[in-house]
Amino acid sequence: MDKEERKTINRGQEDEMEIYGYNLSRWKLAIVSLGVVCTGGFLLLLLYWLPEWRVKATCVRAAVRDCEVVLLRTTDEFKRWFCAKIRFLSLEMHPFLSPKSIINKVSNGHAVHLAENRAEENRREMRKYSQTQSQQIRYFTHHSVRYFWDDTLHNFDFLKGLDEGVSCTSIYEKHSAGLTKGMHAYRKLLYGVNEISVKVPSVFKLLIKEVLNPFYIFQLFSVILWTTDEYYYYALAIVIMSVVSIISSLYSIRKQYIMLHDMVAAHSTVRVSVCRVNEEVDEIFSTDLVPGDVMIIPLNGTVMPCDAVLINGTCIVNESMLTGESVPVTKTNLPNPSVDIKGTGDELYSPEIHRRHTLFCGTTVIQTRFYTGEFVKAIVVRTGFSTSKGQLVRSILYPKPTDFKLYRDAYLFLLCLVAVAGIGFIYTIVNNVLNEVEVGVIIIESLDIITITVPPALPAALTAGIVYAQRRLKKVGIFCISPQRINICGQLNLICFDKTGTLTEDGLDLWGIRRVENARFLLPEENVCNELLVKSQFVACMATCHSLTKIEGELSGDPLDLKMFEAIGWILEEATEEETALHNRIMPTVVRPPKQLLPESTPAGNQEMELFELPAIYEIGIVRQFPFSSDLQRMSVVARVLGDRKMDAYVKGAPEVIASLCKPETVPVDFESVLEDYTKQGFRVIALAHRKLEAKLTWHKVQNITRDAIENSMDFMGLIIMQNKLKQETPAVLENLHKANIRTVMVTGDNMLTAVSVARDCGMILPQDKVIIAEALPPRDGKVAKINWHYADTLPQCSNLSAIDSQDIPMKLVHDCLEDFQVTRYHFAMNGKSFSVILEHFQELVPKLMLHGTVFARMAPDQKTQLVEALQNVDYFVGMCGDGANDCGALKKAHGGISLSELEASVASPFTSKTPSISCVPNLIREGRAALMTSFCVFKFMALYSIIQYFSVTLLYSILSNLGDFQFLFIDLAIILVVVFTMSLNPAWKELVAQRPPSGLISGALLFSVLSQILICIGFQSLGFFWVKKQSWYEVWHPQSDACNTTRSLQWNSSHSYNETEPDSRNIQNYENTTVFFISSFQYLVVAIVFSKGKPFRQPCYKNYFFVVSLIILYVFILFIMLHPVAFIDQVLQIVCVPYQWRVTMLIIVLVNALVSIMMEESMDWWAKCCSSWALHFREKVPKAKYMRLAQELSVDPEWPPRPQTTTEAKAFAQGNGSCQITIT
């Protein structure tokens, strides 16, 4: 096999990686060991930080099949490296498995394409994994997932459960009987323990990992260097800072681990009952479960310890852990294709497609419904980290790095400082060699310049602004689990909103119904709860077609279902075991009207109504339920009236979908116009349909029938009209976002026209704007895919029935504030099906539609994620705000995901709002912008701090001097740390502005600002340094020097008499040092004021009281010791006496420096405009963002937007490149 081979694992998935094989090399290991000794252990640290170098330095390439170590590289934009050691799993050591019994008993379920013959399957699986006669399997573990060598693939692959490649037929035929103990033992050996293990690392392990961080190693190097140079106080101060930083970091990291451990420990070990092959029930620990085990769900419910597919019975489940939706969900058994009338035996089982039949790990089974003498059973399909909850925990344990321009620029900034330090390093060596300085001093001073240039307080300084922003967000009820995202939120320029529960109220009010008789709509009816309708099929559908259940005596379920059921005033009763037996085991749930609604006797009107005229109690039993599916946009039930021979099928769902399932002759001709009339007014409309089932359909057949067999040839019964009111704060929040030039997009599962109506009412679409509906049709009958463009009416029809009063919404301001920009006069609206077709067949149109797409209706959860990704592909910084239900994927994908749910689903979202209101969005963006500007300010300040101190030391090195130990200490602790941690306290500006902060440090304005301040500071420091030498009193300082003799009393000399007996061996005390120290000290404070900008993103610095007080105290102190020396302070800081007139001169230098710095920074905007206008003379400015370039192109495109009633067709063979052409029809 080729030794240079490169294989790929997890191909096409998010965690796709390239894999390379290596074997340990003894001679390379010996050379590396020698290098480690020669470098004093530094090489070992370097190899610890860089796994790629570590493997390549100690190993030689080998075939992946036979290697000892694998090197992994992610294929995403980060190209991260990992290494893992190959381990061996011996099958002979297990007590259940002798070599002879393996072939007969074992099936490991890998990829689970199970053979018809179990023995053949076992032999194939053994050949697949076992490379030697000793039955050893090679594997490695990466990010809590085991990858086994697969001989059939000639590659490593992770063990799959029953969630891939298994047909629904085989779920019942091959897996429903359970496993033998031998098979169970073998599978457990391969799959391991069923637990989501979040091990809380020991404090010692965390400490070692934290201390080996490159930054702390650099600090250790600095401390050792300073100690050898006798800078004991500063070294001690840095050690204390580092210890405090490490302790706080360890505390927060360990706290996060403990929180995550506690979250996943809920189901860690419980006792469960499983069925074995011989029909015996075995009780085991949940940690021993393996894919293929048949688990019995207890009657009183449980927290699911694994992912399992339900094969018998019904469960009521709370899935808030995964979806954020607290409404209980009904899970039914997986349809058995072998007994199905239509027979879809080839359909493969998928946890996502069949999620209504799948119990997910971590979700709570509240109660089960069973039939007499039968258990509620589920087959385990995934365990451990392969489960849905395990994957969520893995994404938290091993997050992807945050890709943000600011952080990329930060590394460039550090590299620039390193380059500057390199120049200083060479200069110091050359200068000291020319001055014949001792070798030891040369080494210490040249290395010292590096520690001065790269400031040790930089990471702490950068973190401060984010920590303060996180605290301010917490005060307004926004909790953050990913603090680094706060900065990214400062760049958000597009927000996607879910509609129901986010823009509008969560609850729906029943406005009325429109029944259909003889294919004609009757007049609207408000009151459904009356004697005339109680026995109608319409009310029967409302009473049965829902997913409500009783939990502790209270009705619980979907809010829409609750409103409908409450409107008819019926009673729901959960059947007991005795009652189900009484009804021939067909009615687990019974609904009936209250007695006062039932007439005492009603003469039979016709044969169809006979079943309602029984003198007995009128009640309906729900025989089978097909829960609501967001993909199918409907739900249905099979019910039977007590005493009736035939069963009834009822369907409820999206009107367009329900109408397509009905017999055309039963749908009114004006159906579309009536529906459009209601949806344009913002109503939520639901359609109902009914069908009488054949008498031959028995209970057993109904339990295994597919919903397709039921949901056809229905009779259309009418519409239910629900009101969905806007939340009070929605219009104002959207107005603020529009004024700030932030686009808003609606992503909803609701009807298209309803969504467009709500978008108009809340100000997302202005009254004068056009709405273009894109209706995309997939290829069919040899015809290519096409898009039909329809223009919706400009204004919604006015009606007193409207749920929202449009006059209350101020939209003029939005229009006015956008006058200066190119106003979007048209918006695209489309549904989920059209969106999928466009993504697949019209790739060229996707960016154009993203530029103006505002309403996306009937969107499935995965389509919401695809939409966020498509918007990001045109360089939008996308925020997503949802109530947690069905939004988890999009919330994770967006740059800033804000969940309005406080449930555990918020783990998937970087931000969670305590109050379910979109007013959190502007707050988050404001704080994000403030944190981003704070980061820029801190970067600029730390850059100036490094350069000012670097230049001070370089100037002093030229005369073989330096800053004193306590001078360094005073600058770094008293000035820099105090300023950095207080300048970050500026709160966010009180409102959003249209201007956005820059996204990176490498921008013209920022660089110009930093460079100009550097030049100013260098200039004034040089002026003081060289000017002091020109003074008449100047001489090379020595202990007997007395430049103050003319202006000072003799007391000065007596107080400094120690100088005569203790000469300054390092030449710290001199006039140049004192001058540079005072000027540079003031420069740090001047730069802090200059860079601490407020408006438009932060409050003015004078409102930052800690910052102002700190500056005043520092200014007063430095001025005092400069103008009125104190002997003790001068002695500690090693300051020498200079004449009073020179002190005044230094004060003038400092004041002029401050004036020039402030004027230069204040004129930055003017300079920026001049530079940009100058640049425009030479070249036309091309926007960096794709969406801005696209907007420029489309503004001169006469064919865009498409004209009304035109069609865009995909070229017949253009699916690869997404080309399309427009034809007018």
Beta strands 302-303; 494-497: pairing state: unpaired
The CB density around residue 703, as the number of other CB atoms within 10 Å, is: 18
Beta strands 294-296; 377-382: pairing state: antiparallel
User: Any idea which residue has 């206008």 for tokens?
Assistant: 1173
Entry field: residues in the chain: 1225
Tell me the three state secondary structure of residue 477: coil
**Distance in Å from the first CA to the final CA of the chain:** 60
DSSP letters of 608-650?
Answer: GGGGGG-SS---EEEEEEEEEETTTTEEEEEEEETT-SS-EEE
Q: How far is CA 1185 from the centre of its chain?
A: 22
- The values of phi and psi at residue 292, to 5°, are 110, -20
The answer to whether the CB of 293 falls within 8 A of the CB of 274 is yes
Q: 1026 - beta bridge partners?
A: none
**Distance of alpha carbon 922 from alpha carbon 745, whole angstroms:** 15
Q: Which two tokens stand for residue 662?
A: 């009905």
**Distance of alpha carbon 272 from alpha carbon 377, whole angstroms:** 12
Q: 598 to each of 46, 527, 539, 566, how far by Cα in Å?
A: 84, 16, 13, 17
Say if residue 821 is exposed, middle or buried (CB neighbours under 10 Å; 0-12, 13-18, 19+): exposed
Radius of gyration of the chain (CA): 37
Say if residue 1191 is exposed, middle or buried (CB neighbours under 10 Å; 0-12, 13-18, 19+): middle
Say if residue 1016 is exposed, middle or buried (CB neighbours under 10 Å; 0-12, 13-18, 19+): buried
The answer to whether the CB of 291 falls within 8 A of the CB of 191 is yes
Query: Of 774, 722, 741, nearest to 876 (Cα)?
Result: 741
**Distance of alpha carbon 630 from alpha carbon 737, whole angstroms:** 30
Helix axes 1071-1091, 1140-1162, angle to 10 degrees: 30
Identify the active-site residue in 409, 498, 750, 883. 498
* ∠ Cα 183 188 189 (to 5°): 100
What does DSSP assign to residue 779?
Answer: -
The three-state (H, E, C) secondary structure of 951-1011, written as one string: HHHHHHHCCCCCCCHHHHHHHHHHHHHHHHHHHCCCCECCCCCCCCCCCCCCCHHHHHHHH
**Distance of alpha carbon 1051 from alpha carbon 1053, whole angstroms:** 5
**Distance of alpha carbon 429 from alpha carbon 7, whole angstroms:** 50
- The values of phi and psi at residue 683, to 5°, are -80, 150
The CB density around residue 308, as the number of other CB atoms within 10 Å, is: 29
Residue type, 266: A
Give the distance between the most distant pair of CA atoms in the chain: 127
Q: 857 to each of 849, 977, 1172, how far by Cα in Å?
A: 14, 52, 42
Continuous H helices in 305-387:
320-323
- The values of phi and psi at residue 347, to 5°, are -70, 130
Query: Of 805, 803, 857, 804, nearest to 827 (Cα)?
Result: 857
Known catalytic residue: 498?
yes
Beta strands 826-831; 770-777: pairing state: parallel
Active site residues: 498
